[in-house]
Chain A
């Protein structure tokens, strides 16, 4: 659609130029704009998702704007628009888009519905909170309750202990031979499991004995092997979990048989007993559920909505909820019904009543009011209570049906589905904080603070933000952002040429992903969460399998450990083999993909998509060339150079890593040339060779810092940064630098700043919006 509009406009332009412009090469400002600027800034100067995402803003004089264009525009090919051309286009922009010094499209906080992941988190939090949420605390492991079973089959509790992980081989013995007979005993492990990311989890239990595993759902086991049948020793169950949340987990284990008891045959051998609880995270290999993901605290049961939603709009590069479709409307209906059904089935529990009858109707009504308030993330006015609680309950004599109607209406309501409704009060502050830091609704502490008027000033808000950083949902959000930043958030399997890389397979790929995740977790949870560490660290997590491939000496069976690599050749993410393998083709490295990540992702340079789709030149076509030479050859055309002058010299610095990220010294039997360069928006051309020099440059680059702040802002707030005031960006970047590039503090800062920012008052015409006008 946009494309068609553009070509229509340019056709008009060409026509008018042909008839009215007398001088040879002199184009009007408008013509230049249509040719060179429109792709990134849009036909109305409103900004373009994959180009420059923000509208023009007033604030620069004509002279300043002209100089800016001459020196930096078009991005990556500044020499193409200088002198009189730059001035003409500056005049055009000023006259057309910034009339009367006012932006045509003032950035504003747009009304947005919950994204799909926010919706699922909101429902999960709502239902958990109504059961009295319990906090994830510092204790780790599961609480094991060990029981002896006597000859009559009666159980006797012997001792409790905290077990870090569930991996026991009791053999023919018992957990405590002096008090528990090895013949029959039973153990129950109780607590919670923390899901670090959203997706489908596979739980695995290995045991020759009887067991039942409950995850999330307390009523229905995920794996039921109470009755043993057939040979198997390994049992699996899958379940969808939301990242950053803890779910109740119980594992009942028994060595006792079922049915009729028989007298023991004297001298009969004692059969063995063992139990092992493992899981497989999305895209990862199976592992014993680690201690840090287990807690003896029993979190309340909740619901992960299973109804299918259409994916959110990602056209601006990050998910946001600014469109509604028929499919989405149906999904909200289906999900509301799912929740209504869930609540109905557990209503006595939720409302804390023994029976559902007239006698307890008032408690049920109060539960309904709590449900709606939590759903709306703010208290109800008397009118809202009448509409959302009293009316549905009065509409049917059936109490349970009445509750279902309350649930349906609340979850279909715009007050649940949209984020920016309601007054600019403490409750709105609480919501903004929670959605920025957790991608989830506010918890009880935030709502209490809001009700007590304790979210009014930056200190109070910052204190809450600080508290919220300790919640696992924050780690999950920061992790998801970093993967998004690297464009690795929806990994598709890596395919590599089997002849060239016989060692590379899905197991290695999953290992590499694990290695990256361990590195991210280390930086995220580190003392300072220093952004620069992502670029400059010389640590690489390897296990025995990876060590063999990547040339490090470790025992073949070694589990993952951090290895200090040769600092000249290894630098954080830049040389991480998972990134290098992801930004590569099947047989050759890809300086272009690596360069695009560096230019667009790390340095925040807007890049135009190539004029048409290209496949990389096959190496076989030019058997004498190195990858570097082939890339240079393919992108030599003038149409390519404006961007590839920027992309290629960045990507070339990573040429020491092959298509699976192994360090190499030769390509096509010629020594590697890893020299590269970068022309920043202002200042000297920078030159570097290899990942280390590049990493040092980027870690100190103002452009990289700016880009990181912007990207984190858009990802977590999902609104234009300028809607929060002209100084918002500068303020955030300054504090990012001052606080040692701490990513956790940056997100807290973003949350604090946006949570307290006033909303632009409702108005009836766009032109009356003046709140963000620059001075």
Chain B
């Protein structure tokens, strides 16, 4: 029976084996000593449907700026934030603004023509023509032993619609290869810590198994008994391996999750917190150094009852600037998303970097973004990019206003900041003179 590549993919689909291999092979499950070079992590957070410019963007440039309503929660991290105005998604082609907004956001390249037809475009589109920057960086980190991690990247979702189309996918492994974010924190937990669960389960049944091997051996002939005795010796070996692994384990114990949280809009605050806690713990355990966290999806019609907002997000985002009530609600929504990003930043800031000085936020850059510059105009000008943390050696604590530069150049800056010196990413026409000026200086 031949077992080729297809089988590997098949195993991956089951979500068990890659995680299980070190365990089953009896290798130590915990990484070795700390490496000299500092760890760098990148988290990209997405929230949908544009923002309200007048309550979002600081008026000032430079180090002295005032946070407006939508970004108020950022205050404790003001000095560790970088607010980038004037970056534009210049990618054109098939698909409507929402589709291209999310599909080209991290890929910087056009969508393929396809069969998904949007509200404001003539040309139906399919998936992106290229991979997203997080996956590019995953490939880069996984290619070197000192930066390689168990997962390479983790894709978290919060109430991303249960349908796969251009509006719901942001992360691409390659052309035509969208990755599905994991909405369910319990599923993510199982992916991260299933190994420990299996180990514990297995340990709990081995006594009973040895007992049975003795019972069965007593009932067969001497010749057959030899085989069962060999078998019993192998099971003892498994027992020893598990014992050793247990002794080595638990550098980063899994977080305690509340049980029974359902996948529904009203649970978003709870789901969001669970996903962030899981992400922080997976950083502590160094399971990955790249993560994405996608709230909802482009054109999301999430209801947000805990904000006392009656309508749905996408509907409200279409209201004109003159609709004061809508502008107020949209600001409140953006503020809530901002609070989530800040919760993540705070968790990272409060967690000491394992094996190194400082906090985990010192070695992590959070990039919070959106598929549109403004919901009612569907513009791709001034796409929001709010950066927090010290992961990429950018000079933080500033508000920067660029003169309408393509956002591909920021993607290049992220790559360079992570040590990956690529000259082009996505459509080369939008890579201009390369990485953005003035981020590090």
Contact = CB atoms under 8 A, between A and B. Distances in A.
Contacts of A229: 111-114, 125-127, 176
Contacts of B220: 111, 421, 762
Contacts of B13: 217, 220
Contacts of A762: 219-221
Given A229-B127, A414-B213, A414-B228, A341 B114 contact: no
B357 interface: no
Given A282-B2, A329-B238, A405 B201 contact: yes
Nearest to A261: B117
Among B113, B114, B194, B216: residue with most chain A CB under 10 A:
B114
Contacts of A113: 227
Contacts of B248: none
B198 A224 contact: no
B300 to A, nearest CB: 15
A230 B110 CA distance: 11
Interface stretch (B15-23, B37-45, B57-65, B78-86): B15-23
B113 to A, nearest CB: 7
Interface in A334-389: 334, 337-338, 340-342, 387-388
Given A306-B14, A330-B25, A413-B209, A230 B126 contact: yes
Given A326-B237, A408-B202, A765-B222, A414 B115 contact: no
Interface stretch (A74-82, A122-130, A390-398, A608-616): A390-398
A395 B200 CA distance: 11
Interface stretch (A252-260, A466-474, A549-557, A716-724): A252-260
A483 interface: no
Contacts of A391: 208
B6 A259 contact: no
A326 to B, nearest CB: 6
Nearest to A229: B126
A307 B197 CA distance: 18
A308 interface: yes
B32 interface: no
A117 B3 CA distance: 13
Contacts of B117: 257-262
A296 to B, nearest CB: 26
A20 B426 CA distance: 89
Given A227-B164, A405-B205, A763-B221, A306 B115 contact: no
Given A227-B114, A229-B111, A306-B7, A408 B125 contact: no
B296 interface: no
Nearest to A384: B212
Contacts of A330: 24-26, 238
A258 B165 contact: yes
Nearest to A230: B112
Contacts of A408: 201-202, 205
A217 B14 CA distance: 10
Contacts of A202: 6
Contacts, number: 193
Contacts of B112: 229-231
Contact of A200 (B6, B25, B230): B6
A752 interface: no
B211 A387 contact: yes
Contacts of B166: 227
B163 to A, nearest CB: 9
Interface residues of B, number: 66
Contact of A341 (B4, B119, B194): B194
Contacts of A87: none
Contacts of B20: 334, 337-338
B222 A764 contact: yes
Contact of A230 (B7, B164, B165, B176): B176
Contact of B6 (A224, A238, A337, A341): A238
A210 interface: yes
Contacts of B227: 111, 113, 322-324
Contact of A257 (B115, B202, B213, B221): B115
B231 interface: yes
A230 B20 CA distance: 36
B11 A306 contact: yes
B10 A239 contact: yes
A199 interface: yes
A226 B198 CA distance: 36
A409 B198 contact: no
B219 to A, nearest CB: 7
A111 B4 contact: no
A338 B234 contact: no
A259 B16 contact: no
A356 B211 CA distance: 30
14 contacts: A110-B223, A224-B164, A258-B117, A259-B116, A282-B2, A326-B237, A337-B24, A387-B211, A387-B212, A392-B208, A395-B204, A405-B201, A409-B209, A766-B223
Interface of A: 108, 110-111, 113, 116-117, 198-200, 202, 210, 217, 220, 224, 226-231, 238-240, 257-262, 282, 306-308, 322-326, 328-330, 333-334, 337-338, 340-342, 387-388, 391-392, 395-396, 401, 404-405, 408-409, 412-415, 418, 420-421, 760, 762-766
Given A200-B4, A228-B114, A229-B114, 15 more contacts: A111-B228, A229-B111, A229-B127, A257-B124, A282-B2, A306-B7, A306-B11, A324-B231, A326-B237, A333-B238, A334-B20, A387-B211, A392-B208, A401-B200, A418-B216
Q: Closest 3 A-B residue pairs measured CB to CB?
A: A229-B126, A238-B6, A111-B224
Interface of B: 1-4, 6-7, 9-11, 13-17, 20, 24-26, 111-119, 124-127, 129, 164-167, 175-176, 194, 197-198, 200-202, 204-205, 208-209, 211-213, 216, 219-224, 227-228, 230-231, 234-235, 237-238
